[in-house]
Structure 1
Amino acid sequence: MAHPLEDTLIAKQITPTAMRLLVLDVLQQHPAALSLADVEQLLGHVDRITVHRTLKTFTDKGLVHRVEDGSGAVKYALCEPGCTPGHHQDLHVHFFCTRCRETSCLPTVAVPVVALPGAYQVQETSLVMKGLCPRCVGTR
């Protein structure tokens, strides 16, 4: 009998391995986007390169998307169901809390379409807003 984590990987054509299952479990357990260092810390003693390769595979296969929030570390968050290899459909706002330094996906807030002049061709769009998350607003 298959495990839900294995089913998730198989649905994205990713071969389940022990490390991939562990990394997926960590990403599912944490609502905020996580950096490579965050994932390593949560998993304990693991090989950094294997975790990095796992996150790259997950990104390439449309399971996670990269978030560059200006903190200096790329973070990773689970994709929306419509993402496919090489074509992410995660055009939503990300929010970086300046106090707790967590980055959250806000999938119900779409990134506005910006019309560019001339021959510009957009290859990637992202919008990161910064401020205080609801948890930190309540702890002023």
Structure 2
Amino acid sequence: MACSSGKKLHSSVPKQGISGKLLFASGNHMPMVGAPPNDPQPLKGTILVYEPTNLSQVTRMGDAPEYTAIHTRQIASVETDSSGTFSIALPPGAYSLFVKRNDHYYANLFDNNNNIALYTVEEGKLTTVKITVSTTAVY
């Protein structure tokens, strides 16, 4: 017969917000017959949560999806674990996610209006994302 302490275990994953994986892709990602896939690897890093940010509100590094400045308000930040996993509780709303990379920021997802890495959090729901930093990958 098993005993129960009556204590509830609390999960580190919030019930509402954003949860996901941060990955790093490098090298050749072109499919090749007989070669194993070059899967992205987990990346430990910092995810920065900003209010919705448009391409016109950042200072871009040339044509790359990297930025030296973000001219909108930062809402929060979260560190990934060694497996690249992260989660953060957020109120309902829209948010742009950036990855802190040394002295600059990375985000490589745009909608039709040039909003950068825009994700929506709905009441009582967890939005799941996968962010892949691919600055040194070839597709």
Give the TM-score band, short-chain normalised: under 0.3
Structure holding more helix per residue: 1
Q: What TM-score results when the alignment is normalised by the length of structure 1?
A: 0.24
Q: Is the radius of gyration larger for structure 1 or structure 2?
A: 2
Q: Which has the higher contact order (CA 8 A, sep 6+)?
A: 2
Structure holding more strand per residue: 2
